[in-house]
Amino acid sequence: MTPPRPTFRIVTALAAAVLLASCGADEAPVDETPEQAAPDAATTPPADESSASADAQPALDAFPVTIDTPTGEVVIEERPERIISLSPSATEILFAIGAGDQVIAADEFSNYPPNAPTTELSGYEPNVEAIVGYEPDLVVLANDINEIEASLTALDIPVIINTAPLDVDSGYDGMAALGLATGHADEAAAAVSGMRAAMEDALSAAPQDAQIRVYHELDETFFSASSHSYIGSVYAAMGVVNIADEADTDQTGYPQLTEEAIVTADPQLILIQSQAAYTAEDVAARPGWSQVSAVKNGNIIVVDSDISSRWGPRLPQLVDLVVGALSDIAVPAGR
């Protein structure tokens, strides 16, 4: 719980005019617009501005710190200034908690925020030599692939494995851990409470009792996300019926459905990926789909693939979008 800091700063980011208010307060931000890129509690200094080093360090940011990670405890001796983030989700979080200017390199898929230092580094096939070449003092990974953690630890480079959370709540812990690790514990706490508030705010508008049948399509081969997946848990919080659940008997989170089952389940809302090579029109034109409710009533919406596949501060935007679509379906008293 931090005292409110009534300072507002407007940062104009690259393409989208992104409004980032830094208030660090607990109160719920009101009127979250889809254009807003981060919860109000987050501070994102522009890349050319180094503010963190000038700040007096609060007591919480005293180093060394010990971080609990899924793979054990990691001790970070002093405030990291050369962070490499090989996880797009972690990159978004680091920038949202004000550690952005300590990040010197991010992996090839860290495409947000726009000023993230995206490089050729890979998070899927991490190359120790390429990583060490940047002389990092902290490496954040999504998964320990090819024993990368052991290799880096052997070189005295601390590693934090920031695994993809299975639901929204467990993601907050990762955010707090990254705050502690980078010397931004208070900003992380503020970001967490801001995001919690934004999520509650967005979810409060969901038509919980409407039992709307939803189909989240990952690709043209009818892979879907059930309630056991991260994004599916977000939908579940909206009180929808996820048509992929029936197929996900082993609870992997991402079952492949048969086309027949999808059409027969008659989803009222279909969500497709922004990265997909096809459009809502293409889905509507699929042979045999013309009688599906979502197609008949034009309820096929495109969700940002990045937001729906990584835990991050932009999640409330997606919730707003989907809740809006659900409300539109629920309001006409059809069923």
Partner 1 sequence: MMMSTQAPPADALEESAERAFRIRWPAVVGAVTLVVLVVLLSVMQGAGGLPLSGVARSLAGALPGVDVAQTLTPQQQGVLWQIRLPRTALAALVGASLAMAGAGYQGVFRNPLADPYLLGVSAGAGLGAVLALGFGLDLAWGPVGALPAAAFIGALVAVTGSVLVARGSFRDPATLLLAGVAMAALFAALQTFALQQLDQSRTREVLSWLFGRLATQGWQPVSLLLPYAVLAGAVLLVHARHLDVLRLGDDEARALGLRPARSRLVVVAAATLITAAAVSVSGLIGFVGLVTPHVVRLLVGHSYRLLIPLSALVGGAFLALADVGARTLVAPAELPVGVITALVGAPFFCFVLWHGRRDR
List of residues contacting partner 1 (CB under 8 A): 109, 124-125, 218-223, 246-249, 255-266, 273, 275, 277, 286-292, 305, 309
DSSP letters along 85-111, please?
E--HHHHHHHHHBT-GGGEEEE-TT--
User: Cα–Cα distance between 184 and 190 in angstroms, integer?
Assistant: 10
Closer residue to partner 1, CB minimum distance, 32 or 248: 248
Q: State how far the Cα of 95 lies from the Cα of 163, in Å rounded to an integer.
A: 18
225 CB-near residues (< 8 Å, 6+ apart): 216, 218, 231, 232, 235, 242, 244, 253, 254, 308
Structure tokens at 269: 């809302």
> Least distance (Å) from partner 1 to the CB of residue 168?
21
Which is nearer to partner 1, 88 or 174 (by Cβ)? 88
Identity of the residue, 3 or 287, whose beta carbon is nearer to partner 1 in the bound complex? 287
Question: Given the complex with partner 1, which of 125 and 156 has the nearer CB atom?
Answer: 125
85 or 193: whose CB is closer to partner 1?
Answer: 85
Minimum distance from CB of 170 to partner 1 (Å)? Answer: 21
Q: How far is the CB of 105 from partner 1 (least distance, A)?
A: 19
Shortest Å distance, C-beta 22 to partner 1? 32
- Backbone phi and psi for residue 314, each to the nearest 5 degrees, phi listed first: -90, 0
How far apart CA 69 and CA 81 sit, in angstroms, is 20
CA 61/CA 182 separation, integer angstroms: 8
* Shortest distance in whole angstroms from residue 290 CB to partner 1: 6
3-class state of residue 250 by DSSP: coil
Among residues 2 and 122, whose Cβ is nearest to partner 1?
Answer: 122
Nearer to partner 1, 1 or 277 (CB): 277
Report the nearest approach of partner 1 to the CB of residue 259 (Å): 5
The two three-digit tokens of residue 237, written as one number: 């919080």
Nearest partner of 317 among 101, 71, 31, 116, judged by Cα: 31
Q: Walk across the sheet containing 159-161 and list its strands.
A: 103-106, 83-85, 138-141, 159-161
- Return the sign of the alpha-carbon dihedral for residues 218, 333, 206, 314: positive
DSSP annotation of 286: S
**195 exposed, middle or buried (CB, 10 Å; 0-12, 13-18, 19+)?**
buried
- Closest to partner 1 by CB, 190 vs 247, is 247
Smallest separation, CB 302 to partner 1 (Å): 14
CB of 143 to partner 1, least distance (A): 12
